[in-house]
Amino acid sequence: MTDQRKLLERALVQLRETRARLAAAERAAHEPISVLGAGVRLPGDVADLEAFWSLLRDGVDAVTPSVDTLDGHRPKPADRVENGRWAGLLTEVDGFDAGFFGIAPAEAAKMDPQQRLVLEVAWEAMEDAGLPLETLQRAGTGVFLGVYNSDYLTLQYGEPASINTYTAPGGAHSVLANRVSYLLNLRGPSLAVDTACSSSLMAVHLAVRALRHGECDIALAGGVNVILNPISTLVTEKVLPLAPGGRCRTFDAAADGIIRAEGCGVLVLTRESLAGGRRVRAVIRGTAANHDGRTNGLTAPNPRAQADLLRRALDDAGARPEEVTYIEAHGTGTPLGDPIEVEALREVYGDGTLPCALGSVKTNFGHQEAAAGVTGLIKAMLVLEHEQVPPNVHLRRLNPEIDLTGSRLSAPAALTGLARGEHAPMAAVSSFGFGGANAHAILQAPSAPPASIDAGAGAPTGTGAPAGRGGPTGIGVPAGRGTLGKLVLPLSARDPAALVPLARAYAERLVGCDTERAAAVCAAAGTRRTHLAHRLCLAATDPAELMARLGEVEGGGPAVPPRPPRVAFVFSGQGSQWAGMGTELLRREPVVAAEVAACDAVVRELAGWSVLEQLADGGRLHETEVAQVAIGALQLGLAALWRSWGIEPAAVTGHSMGEVTAACAAGALDRAQTFDLLLRRARRAEEGAAGGAMASIALPPDRVRALIDALGADRGRAGIGAVNGPRSTVVSGERQVVTAVCAAAERLGANVRRLPSRYGFHSPMLDGQDDLLAAELADLRPGPGTVPMYSTVTGALVQPGQLGAAHWGRNLRDAVRFSPAVSAIAATGVTVFVELGPHPVLLRDLGETLEEAGVRYRAVGTLRRDQPLSATLDRSLADLYRAGLDVDWEAVLGAAPADVALPAYPWQRRRHWLGEAPQRADLVTTVPLAERTGTIALFVRRRIADALGFDDLEQVPEDRPLADFALDSLVIVEMKGQAENELGVTVPLQALLRVMQGGTALDLAAMIAKES
């Protein structure tokens, strides 16, 4: 009986689990899909959603005489096209920012403008969604794009000699989607959809299915259409009637045919469960697709199939027909097609009490064919967003074949309000292919806009040792870790020329913003934009200053390195303190406040006084013990802050007492050990070095040593206290002896700076104190550390077990070997140095050391005496960003409110068209191989420039990885043949491929020279 009961209980548990799994699968199969963003390029110079809505609201007809707008970029319509002299056309389809996507001019010239448009508009959609590229790459993003025409490819058929390795991928429909995935490194499904006029809505339907099935977490979905070959209009006219009057009159009695049109639209989609906290423009509740089946003709519509399609989409959405109050019809403006479509719409949607408006965006632009469906969907999204229905342009008298009597349907000819019931309003969108492939989608306005996010940082723990940066789960907005309020604006571009218009656009966006709103714009720019190679970062105290600085931007600097540079934290010593230091920092930065509070608790227990009180009062900062402990606590707070912002050190070093806090930041000492050591060290220094003096002499250490030795009997009463730079040496010891050394140095013409110190630190005055300190620290047990530390006692990397009691005795007494330690750090490839302290005192010496070593570096301080954070810490952060460091902007600036809109990227377009690829002269072929590697490298660079169509050899640096150029295998084979023919050598293919994958032009030149 007991066994039977156990079996029954187990069966019940399994049944519940099965039911739960089935319920979860059912929910997933019908999960709503959030539209996070959209990008458009439409006739009438519409390049963003704001312009799109303005055109719709005002009832603008963007159709123009096609001949008048061709201006040499397109062929003129063929004479045989009866009614094709009107079209909804895009401007400047020959222009493309090829450099932004890393595409060579020669390849760009062979790319269908449809491929170029999709790349730019997909990027704009990502920006509208507020998703940096890294987010899409992590999410396994899918790409689903509708395409129909191949005009650019067909234009090349008459010139076989012009066809090259770029022609096939440049014209293939499949590559329309695949190129987006390739260039943006997106690894989800990638497919082009051709169902003619329904292609883009069919692409959306497939994207919805892929998202629901977990094939990707984000999808780019849409379509594009560009008309370039007059023959395609002739072909279209033989199948679909072109309106002789040049107007699309959907639903009107005078409707007489379609108008061809161009356009591009891309949506950014994700599952509703992943969109938490982000702005959602609309929700796709359901979609459906079907075919007309066998009708009285392949291109004839089928009202029964259409009605069935609408019902299936409603069923997928779990919605009732009467809940839909706007329908974006396929509505091509043909006298036959419009009545058939409305018949099906009335059958499914006609009953109910809430009015339902019909519309067709084709009355504004014409029929965009493969882009028509997504354009209609974006219009429906805007209708829901604004709760207004735009007019159907040219609707004067309803087509008598369309009967809306007794239904709730209407076709407005003027701007009207959108009807809504108890819930968020819904809209439907139809798109039908002329081959019978149909798609329908149900949209709903988001139930409620996301609340503005204003979360502060929690109090961290630890000592400033590395902490996890955290990050979002999925693609939703993470809980805020920074605090809104700072005016630090990071901007970036792929082309330095783009930074000027970008800065101007942000200045315009900030007009009328108060500090809170301006800070939200900064936060959004940091967290919702991809950070590119050419960077600009501005810090300000108020919006007016920020706008003024944006207006002064004249360009950008050099591109940041492919990998972020390595950073060293440099902890300064005593002498950098000042009354009031850290006051603003502790008030503004919770991370610093928490770390200093933790240090304060330790010092209270060890010494019986408060670091926080002394920082607030400042009256005892002249005392060695108080100064060194207060500086140390502030330094650990700054280390924790930099790390929380994503700036992790690859090495640390510290000057004098700063070596103690450096050891703590490296993880070798804990907080209690650090402050016990600082307190003991300060007391020994106070006891032994009081009454002494220090001076900095602009001479090398050997010259200063000679001056000290020349004093005779007094030479043992002073010594070299620090080697700060190649020509910066500190003498320290008894005051009268230091004075004598300074006088001798001045007689030599050396610059001498007497330090404001009443102590002779790191001098013979401390003889014996070092042993006493070491004895007091006998029980000190340092840890191994997690960050490489370079000691200013030895000027070298700290070895395991080195940081025991004896080391800290030497740290008190011996000269500070700061310059050798910096040189040792630089030798490891560190190029960025951050000085941590209340005031920068080491930057000049650090710079002289690195310049002497020939190192290209960047060095910044953190705080500065009596200066606000906006002029110090914030500007240092800006410098590090410009240097190429990856900053955790959400930790720095907080999470921006979801409704913050930012300017779009300013494309730097250039004309790329058939037959206009740059041509270059050949390199002289007589090259002495073994002795002229540099000349061979020049040959290699010229061949690559030829292949890619670069007109500037600087675009192919000799030290840039060849893999960066993404050369096609056929191009590599062609280059091999050129090298063999022109240089008279044999180039092994496998060796060539290996160098192309991992080497530079210099490496390839060396390989060719070796083979000779």
Active site residues: 197, 330, 367, 656
Bridge-based pairing state of the strands 728-734 and 718-725: antiparallel
Residues 6 or more apart from 370 whose CB is under 8 A from it?
A: 146, 147, 148, 149, 194, 196, 197, 199, 200, 223, 224, 225
H or E element: which one contains 743? helix 735-747
Smallest CA-to-CA distance from 467 within 895, 891, 894 is with 891
Chain centroid, CA 416 distance in Å: 40
Are 984 and 1009 spatial neighbours (Cβ–Cβ below 8 Å)? no
Buried b (16+ CB within 10 A) or exposed e, 137-170: ebbbbbbbbbbbbbbbbebbeeeeeeebbbeebb
Q: Is 238 exposed, middle or buried (0-12, 13-18, 19+ CB in 10 A)?
A: exposed
Token reading at 482: 């920074």
Distance CA 527, CA 536 (A): 15
Smallest CA-to-CA distance from 632 within 673, 684, 688 is with 673
Please, how many CA atoms are within 13 Å of residue 428, restricted to the half-sphere of its CB? 32
Residues 6 or more apart from 479 whose CB is under 8 A from it?
A: 455, 895
What are the backbone angles phi and psi of residue 739, rounded to the nearest 5°?
Answer: -60, -40
Token reading at 954: 């600087």
The residues that bridge with 970 in the sheet, in sequence order, are: none
Phi/psi region, residue 331 (left: phi>0; alpha: psi -120 to 50; beta: rest), is left
Distance CA 208, CA 215 (A): 10
Buried b (16+ CB within 10 A) or exposed e, 185-221: ebebbbbbbbbbbbbbbbbbbbbbbbbbeeebbbbbb
Residue 191 to residues 51, 174, 175, 200, 206, Cα–Cα distance (Å):
29, 6, 8, 12, 10
Please report the DSSP string for 280-323 in residue order: -SEEEEEEEEEE--S-SSTT---HHHHHHHHHHHHHHHT--GGG
What are the backbone angles phi and psi of residue 1000, rounded to the nearest 5°?
Answer: -115, 180
Helix (H, G, I), strand (E, B) or coil at 928: coil
Distance CA 173, CA 179 (A): 10
Distance CA 904, CA 130 (A): 11
